[in-house]
Amino acid sequence: MCRGRAVRLRGPLVMAIVNVTPDSFFAGSRARSAADAVARGAACFRAGAAIVDVGGESTRPGAEAVPPEVESARVVPVVRGLREACPEGVISVDTRHAAVARAALEAGADIVNDVAGLDPDLGMAEVLAASGAGYVLTHARGWTPRGMEGVEEARDVVAEVSAALSAASARLEAAGVDRRQIAWDPGLGFEKTHEDSWRLLGATGRFAAAEAPFVVGASRKRFLGGAEAAGRGPASVGAALWAAACGADVVRVHDVAETVGALWAFLRAQEAVNA
């Protein structure tokens, strides 16, 4: 549920990544300007994305934190321009700051995608309760840009992530957020070893059967292998197909056309088997 509008989760939805940052880990996702970002977002909708996620702060390991006012200056013009260009499109803002979320929602965003969902800005629940916006609650163990190196493998990462997301959802509901607003993201690559990220991706079916819509964001992340993000496109599409096969509701991707095409073929084959 996003601001009173039900988003239909029939088959996996594609969430496209558009970054208005100079330093996001995948150079191909960086827009040069607000106008470029709006054009990219509109192209993603035309290519079949159901959601466009606009980010103004890099989440790559070692990135510098971005002040909320700078982040707002980056993302708000993009959200506003994309809303004008694509009035029916679902727009997400990728932020951990309540002030940025509020400004983006006022500009026309529908969803807040929060990488710091387990330890959110104290005002985030208030923003969500007042706006009715959708919320992607991400597991990242108190994430900060500087805090993603040297993490240890979890004893049972699936149990840990499931329990933490459930507890955070309960806290949000106690603060007035409707549970229908909340989706879960296990935070692949965020404060996780590569093996733990693989275990979480492998457990997609368990999460997809749980209490909230499930978002998988594996696209071009380090655990997929390869020295550079530019070479991880095929593995990213494969991960998205796996997530779809296991029941994920949303796959967050850089490669929209490739993922949409692969999902179309997968779903057509699935229909033929079930006919």
Q: List, for residues 87-107, the tens digit of each pLDDT value.
A: 999 999 999 999 999 999 999
Q: pLDDT-derived band of residue 121, with 50, 70 and 90 as boundaries?
A: confident
How many other β-carbons are positioned within 10 Å of the β-carbon of residue 35? 12
- The share of the chain scoring above pLDDT 70, in percent, equals 90
Short-list 11, 19, 1, CA closest to 220: 19
Considering the entire predicted model, what is its pTM? 0.92
Q: Does residue 41 contact residue 52 with C-beta atoms inside 8 Å?
A: yes
- Between CA 97 and CA 121 the distance in angstroms is 6
pLDDT in the model for residue 146: 56
pLDDT in the model for residue 120: 84
Whether 46 is a known active-site residue: answer: no
pLDDT in the model for residue 127: 97
Show the domains of the chain with their CATH numbers: 13-274 (3.20.20.20)
**Which position has the higher pLDDT, 227 or 265?**
265
pLDDT in the model for residue 129: 97
Q: How far is CA 90 from the centre of its chain?
A: 13
Is 145's pLDDT higher than 70?
no
pLDDT in the model for residue 206: 93
pLDDT in the model for residue 85: 97
Three-state secondary structure call for residue 47:
coil
Q: Does residue 236 contact residue 1 with C-beta atoms inside 8 Å?
A: no
Q: Please tell me which residue in 80, 83, 232, 252 is annotated as part of the active site.
A: 252
pLDDT in the model for residue 29: 78
Residue with tokens 């997609």: 204
Is 63's pLDDT higher than 80?
no
Is 228's pLDDT higher than 70?
yes
53-67, 81-95, 121-135, 170-184: range with lowest mean pLDDT: 53-67
Instruction: Average the pLDDT over 216-225 and give the result.
Output: 94
Q: Does residue 114 contact residue 124 with C-beta atoms inside 8 Å?
A: yes
Percent of the chain that is helix, strand, coil (3-state, to 5): 45, 15, 40
DSSP code string of 118-158 = TS--TTHHHHHHHH--EEEEE--SS--TT--SSPPPPSSHH
Whether 252 is a known active-site residue: answer: yes
pLDDT in the model for residue 148: 52
Is 62's pLDDT higher than 80?
no
Question: Residues in the chain, how many?
Answer: 275
Q: Please tell me which residue in 83, 96, 221, 232 is annotated as part of the active site.
A: 221
Q: Does residue 55 contact residue 24 with C-beta atoms inside 8 Å?
A: yes
- Between CA 256 and CA 263 the distance in angstroms is 10
- Between CA 148 and CA 42 the distance in angstroms is 32
Strand ranges of the sheet holding 182-185, from the earlier edge strand across to the other edge: 182-185, 134-138, 111-114, 90-94, 51-55, 13-19, 250-253, 215-216
